[in-house]
Amino acid sequence: MDKKVRTRFAPSPTGYMHIGNLRTALYTYLIAKQNDGTFILRIEDTDQERYVEGATEVIYNTLRQTGLIWDEGPDIGGPVGPYIQSERMGIFKDYALQLVESGHAYYCFCTKEELEEMHKIQQVSGQPTKYNGHCRKLSKEEVEKRLAEGVPYVIRQKIPEEGTTTFHDELYGDITVENSTLDDQVLIKADGMPTYNFANVVDDHLMGITHVVRGNEYLSSAPKYNLLYEAFGWEPPKYIHVEHIMKDAQHKLAKRDGDASFQDLLDKGYMVEAIINYIALLGWAPKGENEIFSLEELKKEFSISGLSKSPAIFDPMKLKAINAEYIRRMSFDDFKAAALPYIRQTVKREDIDIDVLVRTLQPRAEVFVDIPEQVDFVDALPEYDNALYVHKKMKTNEETALSALNEILPVLEAIPENEWNEEKIHEELFALIEKLGVKNGWLLWPLRVAVSGKQFTPGGGIELCAVIGKADSIERIKKGIAKLS
């Protein structure tokens, strides 16, 4: 690396952070940071029609939350500002004029109607729709005359009529296209503003950007970018085009899918670290077998060569599994602090052993938002069907369950209130199992059902009894006996 790496994330403030976009930001950030380079935030807000109140804040907040901290940007400034595109509007026209001067661009006076007409004809005759070069042929005098008359105009890029253009992508290698397939795209619009493509090239150059990570949709316009760089005599940045994140094989993950934005994922209870970890993996594969990476670790691990050239389908299951892994890796205290608000959504009573509940919950919680439902039996025993008592593998049925509960009841009743804890209950019940000469499940499966009324619970019967306390446990067992009798 001879040149200091400078990368940029250049989102439009739409008020919505698509995870594909976030992932681009991530990769962009990682490339800068792993090369000890600079990560720049540039807001591309030139589309007034799409302006959304507070949208810039969404970008700031997302980046801050995920730890993708920029070194230069609108709020903190930097040597190549301004970093808000709408504040740079004055600089582009001169560059376009420079191109006109050097013969790489030209004034075009065609009206919208004329263009529409032209495209219509092209479509009907099966031709590709592109500008027909009408105004290319205008004489210098003619141009001057119309300019003087104040005829509205745009400035278009003059694509060579023959030959090919080759550009290099770090992932795809060299891609060559026929110049004849390229359109004389507009550089400066009739209102004097630059088009996105033009502003992008100029800004990237002015900001000294060395690597551009962007979506695959720009692959087809990349040759035109290259021609622009050539016309200016500038060195193009290294391109890395990344594939889309898909909902399924034929549809991109879209807003309406409800999984598409960072905020959607947050709302579903996923942890920030897990989200970053998962999207890093969507379209990129680490060298080794480890898949769990912090942002810090990603800086070391990430490599452009591990990026994938084909679209990746977003898999909520995998995200969930990674989130579960993060939960399991939390310390007891951290997990407790994070889980408590969720537990309290359904568990209001205070007379329980919360630590036992938290401890049994941690390995079984995959996402925080699932917790309220997981512990909703604590406050009150739900209505349940006796069918729950039937378990093939445990060899239990309603009849054996009744016997089991009848055996359990006096044993638990005999435990003094102040000795009621997990160890004691365990000790007493296992003594009973030995005395009766039965399998653990024969006794404990019915207990779990009676005490929870649920098919799945965090922890087994013993833990649950410890959580809800003696009085409630006894009451629920009695209720089970009554139901089974």
Catalytic residue numbers read 255
Tokens representing 133 are: 């070069």
CA dist., res. 314 & res. 321, Å (int): 13
CA dist., res. 303 & res. 158, Å (int): 37
Q: Nearest approach, Cβ of 70 to RNA (angstroms)?
A: 18
Nearer to RNA, 264 or 427 (CB): 427
Note whether 210 and 277 are within 8 A (CB): no
Nearer to RNA, 5 or 281 (CB): 281
CA dist., res. 94 & res. 107, Å (int): 13
Note whether 360 and 353 are within 8 A (CB): no
Cα separation values, 61 from 56, 401, 442, Å: 9, 54, 54
Residue 387 φ/ψ, nearest 5 degrees: -60, -25
Nearer to RNA, 196 or 420 (CB): 196
Q: Nearest approach, Cβ of 102 to RNA (angstroms)?
A: 21
Tokens representing 474 are: 């006894």
Note whether 270 and 324 are within 8 A (CB): no
Q: Nearest approach, Cβ of 4 to RNA (angstroms)?
A: 26
Helices (H), 155-214: 196-206
Note whether 220 and 175 are within 8 A (CB): no
Non-local (6+) Cβ contacts of 197 within 8 A are 185, 187, 221, 224, 225
DSSP annotation of 173 reads E
Nearer to RNA, 37 or 361 (CB): 361
Nearer to RNA, 237 or 460 (CB): 460
Cα separation values, 162 from 122, 157, 178, 182, 222, Å: 20, 15, 8, 10, 18
Nearer to RNA, 37 or 202 (CB): 202
Q: Nearest approach, Cβ of 232 to RNA (angstroms)?
A: 19
Nearest Cα residue to 238 out of 42, 38, 28, 40: 28
Q: Nearest approach, Cβ of 192 to RNA (angstroms)?
A: 9
Nearer to RNA, 102 or 180 (CB): 180
Nearer to RNA, 124 or 249 (CB): 249
Q: Nearest approach, Cβ of 223 to RNA (angstroms)?
A: 8
CA dist., res. 264 & res. 280, Å (int): 17
Q: Nearest approach, Cβ of 485 to RNA (angstroms)?
A: 23
CA dist., res. 157 & res. 108, Å (int): 10
Nearest Cα residue to 244 out of 20, 470, 18: 20
Tokens representing 141 are: 């005098």
* 3 state SS of 377: coil
Q: Nearest approach, Cβ of 129 to RNA (angstroms)?
A: 4
Residue type at 306 in one-letter notation: G
Note whether 67 and 33 are within 8 A (CB): no
CA dist., res. 259 & res. 269, Å (int): 12
